[in-house]
Amino acid sequence: MNISQQEWWEKAQADSNAVILDVRTEDEWNRGIIPGAINIDIYKGQGFIYAVEELDKSKNYYVYCAAGARSAQACNIMNQLEIPNTFNLIGGISQWDGPVVAPE
């Protein structure tokens, strides 16, 4: 499901079952992340699939990338892998006006 920045962030903050998932590359990740995010690079292909298969299917995933295209693709893949609750950040981190932190 594609949702706006404000709705995406409000839902993620209010959701005790939320996981924020960054599907960008490691280089992009190192430039700054949305607080609390985990990283699984969608460009890893089969590696991305393997990592997603290890995720808790009962969680709600708030997914983002740089501009919104890769994260939309990631949500579709996750839905096919029986993860029903995925929320794509429209516009990605490039249009994000919320908090950004350095990854730990």
Q: What's the CATH number where 65 sits?
A: 3.40.250.10
Per the structure, the complete domain to which residue 54 belongs is given by 16-95
Residue 8 lies in a domain: no
Q: Domain tally for the chain?
A: 1
What region, left, alpha or beta, does residue 102 occupy, with left being phi > 0 and alpha being psi -120 to 50 degrees?
A: beta
What region, left, alpha or beta, does residue 32 occupy, with left being phi > 0 and alpha being psi -120 to 50 degrees?
A: left
- For the stretch 59-93, pLDDT in tens is 999 999 999 999 999 999 999 999 999 999 999 99
CA separation for the pair 104, 102 (Å, rounded): 6
- For the stretch 9-63, pLDDT in tens is 999 999 999 999 999 999 999 999 999 999 999 999 999 999 999 999 999 999 9
Residue 76 lies in a domain: yes
Residue 78 lies in a domain: yes
